[in-house]
């Protein structure tokens, strides 16, 4: 399915809605949107690496093949996200467009041992960050007016849902002990704080025209993030036996 959808997006790149993109914006707005797509490409690249660490963690934990398979697909899909973010950046200027890794070491939670961090990395990456990504992109979809960006964003939503399922699937795995669940509950505040810090770091102002082109403003992200916590993350953790205060 994703191959066909990306082929349709490739076709849209050659249509008038994308070829006229740069000309429709002022210089300042064009550069702001270009920086956004470059930054997003770097974020997607960093996320791809995080899924490589998750895959190694899941293999070391002896997790079911269904979960390691989701991690393998996520790596490829995140790299595809990088490519398409860079393509939009290149539509907005002649300067070189490349993605940069935001880090080259696996995430480590202070106070957790090696085995605990193997669980925490996937729960944080999928149940927290990727679940927020789904809500943010759904909120963005309601604002997007450019057809090629709408197609791309919808495909990204579909894939981010799968990426989030990795963590929720791990929580449903019978291989998790009661001690594991208690440990995860103890780190809910740390995972919550890190999620908020990462997602709210960019200080992008509201701009309805740019939001129509896929731009993720701080107010849009903030609303979607809170919705993710209230409606999905915290209730989902509790349903899976993870009872820890966010605060």
CB 136 within 8 A of CB 164: no
CB 9 within 8 A of CB 152: yes
Residue 205 DSSP class: P
pLDDT for res 87: 86
- Euclidean distance between CA atoms 158 and 137, whole angstroms: 10
Domain positions in the chain = 2-239
Tell me the pLDDT tens digit for each residue of 140-192.
Answer: 999 998 888 888 899 999 999 999 999 999 999 999 999 999 999 999 999 99
pLDDT for res 58: 97
pTM for the predicted model, two decimal places: 0.91
2-239 CATH: 1.20.1260
- Cα–Cα distances (Å) from 185 to 73, 195, 243, 244, in that order, read 28, 15, 5, 4
Tell me the pLDDT tens digit for each residue of 9-64.
Answer: 556 555 545 556 667 789 899 999 999 999 999 999 999 999 999 999 999 999 99
């Amino acid at each position: 399915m994703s191959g066909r959808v990306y082929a349709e997006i490739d076709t849209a790149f050659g249509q008038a809605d994308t070829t006229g993109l740069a000309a429709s914006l002022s210089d300042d707005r064009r550069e702001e949107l270009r920086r956004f797509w470059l930054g997003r490409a770097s974020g997607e690249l960093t996320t791809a690496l995080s899924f490589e660490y998750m895959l190694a963690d899941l293999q070391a934990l002896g997790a079911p093949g269904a979960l390691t398979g989701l991690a393998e697909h996520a790596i490829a899909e995140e790299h595809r996200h990088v490519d398409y973010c860079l393509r939009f950046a290149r539509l907005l200027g002649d300067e070189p467009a490349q993605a940069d890794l935001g880090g080259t070491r696996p995430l480590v939670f202070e106070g957790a041992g090696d085995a605990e961090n193997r669980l925490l990395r996937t729960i944080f990456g999928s149940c927290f960050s990727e679940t927020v990504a789904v809500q943010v992109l759904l909120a963005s979809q309601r604002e997007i007016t450019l057809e090629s960006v709408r197609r791309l964003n919808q495909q990204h939503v579909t894939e981010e849902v799968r990426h989030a399922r990795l963590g929720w699937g791990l929580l449903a795995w019978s291989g998790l002990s009661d001690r594991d669940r208690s440990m995860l509950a103890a780190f809910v505040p740390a995972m919550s704080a890190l999620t908020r810090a990462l997602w709210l770091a960019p200080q992008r102002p509201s701009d309805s025209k740019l939001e129509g082109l896929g731009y993720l403003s701080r107010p849009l992200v903030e609303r979607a993030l809170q919705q993710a916590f209230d409606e999905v993350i915290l209730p989902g953790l509790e349903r899976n036996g993870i009872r820890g205060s966010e605060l």
